Chains A and B, each alone.
Chain A
Amino acid sequence: MTEIIDYLGDPWTLEFMRRGLIAAVVVGAVAAVIGSFVILKGMAFIGDALPHASFGGIAAAFVLGANLYLGGAIAAVLTALLIAFVSRRALIKYDTAIGILFVGAFAAGILIISRQTNYAPDLFSFVFGNVLGVSWSDVWITTVAGAVILILVVLFYKELLFVAYDPSMAAAAGLPVAAVQYGLMALIGITTVIGLQTVGIVLVVALLVTPAATAQLLTRRLPSMMALGAAVGVLSSVGGLYVAYYADVSASAAIVLTATAFFFLAFLFAPRRGLLWQRRFAPVEPA
């Protein structure tokens, strides 16, 4: 018994593990809540695009000596708003606009760094994530930003739900649809930026999509989908950090793969919607 407790408790005797845990848990929960909207609106591509776009801002902030997260957040939010603007105007197709804007912003980041004579290894932690290298100030920023995002979702839940579910009816009812859509895009942008330090640009989309999709298979209503998604996100972060600690592998990859494992468990075994359930019961399912 004490062995199990030692085994479970051992990683958290280290301060950098504790810092990483707090950051990963906050990001796992917040990303799943925002990610619920992302997958319901079919915006996974945006979840991939915004972290890439933030790299332009991170690089610019690095050169200017400004706060890297602030730079990343500004770039991500600006890109998000531009995507929303272009798609509302229907000038070009939605996914085309995303493709143009995020690669442009990412390339701007590479361009800026390539001019730096002193190489910038710091920036690579943004590409692949470095959750075990976060500082207390990173943890602090993440927690405050995450809390603000969750509070905004709770306060404007009614508007977010209505606009996500049926924008034309919401507009007919007099809700400020454009403002809500822009606001949601900005929240997605900020969420991806705080996700960067946990899993990095390349993998952050998994935090938005995978726990929320897992929860979607197991729930009937949006609030329970968000809550369960947050729980899956938190469990993935904790589980991933254990795997990283004991198997000595990349923490970001371990967190993402833990979430992927949860998804496949739900995909196979979810009541009613799981693959095995459908195989077994589909022929007798009543109309």
Chain B
Amino acid sequence: MTNSTAPGLVLEARDLWAGYDGQPALEGVTFNIETGCLAGLVGPNGSGKSTLLRVILGLHKPQRGDIRVFGSRGRPDRRRLGYTPQSEQVDWSFPVTLLDVVLMGRYGRLGPLRRPTKADHEIAWQALESVRLADLAHRRIGELSGGQQRRALIARALAQEADLLLLDEPLSGLDATAQHDLIALFEGLRHQGKTLLVATHDLSCVAADFDHAILLNRRVIAFGRPSDVFTEELLNTTFKRHLLLVRLEGRTYVGHD
């Protein structure tokens, strides 16, 4: 393994191209993410956010370009990569409890034929504690509220003891209180030294609480501090007609589909 990466970089993407059936989804994507950073991956639906996460996870092969995860090329150490899929992709009617789902975070570390041990259970319970769901551990997953379901998926990634968390649209469809809870959780995790890359089209959350933003619409429109990249021009380029900027009494309000 070469370790020629700059220190402190968790993710380095250079000129990534990827697509499905000849349809381009990513066109020359380049960006860096530093360790311990809470980064927003911002763009409209269909802008390639999910594809980029899948490329980072090694689930989708890029056609061209270079991706370094934890400084090494090729297949990343999957145990260090936590992933939560979009809520709509999860089967919430499946007969599993919250604890069952969080324990799945341990499965990648166990070999075939091995059962979760007492230590695995302890780690799963710690993950549940840190997302404040321990008292609901034996609930069926479908009985949780929307915000609790998002935290459940994050607990699974935490049980995996991942260093880099890739979260696909964890904020969408939640009310303001649940969003606020989740952001507080993100900040706590960053404090513990985790790096988070959060795909979202929620600009206000990223603007208020994140320390890094990547504006994506097949290509990277901009990346940097939210206060630097959330300009009207760059946002319009990213969201095109999907974005509505309204000025009211000196403040800018953002609406999008």
7 closest A-B pairs (Cβ-Cβ)?
A173-B108, A174-B78, A172-B83, A174-B108, A172-B57, A222-B95, A165-B94
Interface of A is mostly: helix
B85-132 at interface with A (beta carbon < 8 Å): 85, 89-91, 94-97, 100-101, 104-105, 107-108, 110, 112-116
Residues of A near B79 (CB, < 8 A) are 173-174
Give the nearest-CB partner of B84 in chain A.
A169
How many whole Å from B52's CB to the nearest CB in chain A? 14
> When A159-B112, A162-B104 are in contact, do A172 and B59 touch as well, CB less than 8 Å?
yes
Give the nearest-CB partner of B105 in chain A.
A173
Q: Is the CB of A221 within 8 A of B83?
A: no
**Whole-angstrom distance between the alpha carbons of A262 and B101 in the complex?**
30
Q: Is the CB of A225 within 8 A of B59?
A: no
| A67 close to chain B: CB less than 8 A | no
Q: Is the CB of A40 within 8 A of B95?
A: yes
| A166 close to chain B: CB less than 8 A | yes
| B47 close to chain A: CB less than 8 A | no
**Whole-angstrom distance between the alpha carbons of A156 and B114 in the complex?**
9
Residues of A near B112 (CB, < 8 A) are 156, 159
Query: 14 A-B residue contacts at CB 8 Å?
Result: A40-B91, A158-B114, A158-B116, A161-B100, A161-B104, A162-B107, A165-B94, A166-B90, A166-B91, A168-B59, A168-B85, A169-B104, A172-B81, A173-B104
> When A40-B95, A168-B59, A171-B59 are in contact, do A155 and B85 touch as well, CB less than 8 Å?
no
Residues of A near B68 (CB, < 8 A) are none
Residues of B near A219 (CB, < 8 A) are 95
Give the nearest-CB partner of B79 in chain A.
A174
Residues of B near A171 (CB, < 8 A) are 59
Q: How many A-B residue pairs have CB under 8 A?
A: 73
Q: Which A residues are closer than 8 A to B by beta carbons?
A: 40, 155-156, 158-159, 161-162, 164-166, 168-175, 216, 219-222, 225
Residues of B near A172 (CB, < 8 A) are 57, 59, 78, 81, 83
Q: Is the CB of B95 within 8 A of A216?
A: yes
**Whole-angstrom distance between the alpha carbons of A216 and B95 in the complex?**
8
| B140 close to chain A: CB less than 8 A | yes
**Whole-angstrom distance between the alpha carbons of A198 and B91 in the complex?**
33
B37-81 vs A: 1/0 string, CB under 8 Å?
A: 000000000000000000001010000000000000000001101
> When A173-B78, A219-B95 are in contact, do A158 and B85 touch as well, CB less than 8 Å?
no
Residues of B near A170 (CB, < 8 A) are 104, 107
| 5 extra interface residue pairs, beta carbon distance < 8 Å, beyond A40-B95, A165-B91 | A155-B113, A158-B107, A169-B83, A173-B104, A221-B140
> When A162-B107, A175-B107 are in contact, do A225 and B85 touch as well, CB less than 8 Å?
no
How many whole Å from B135's CB to the nearest CB in chain A? 16
Q: Is the CB of A225 within 8 A of B95?
A: yes
Q: Is the CB of B97 within 8 A of A221?
A: yes
Q: Is the CB of A169 within 8 A of B95?
A: no
Residues of B near A156 (CB, < 8 A) are 112-113
| B160 close to chain A: CB less than 8 A | yes
| B156 close to chain A: CB less than 8 A | yes
Residues of B near A168 (CB, < 8 A) are 59, 83, 85, 89
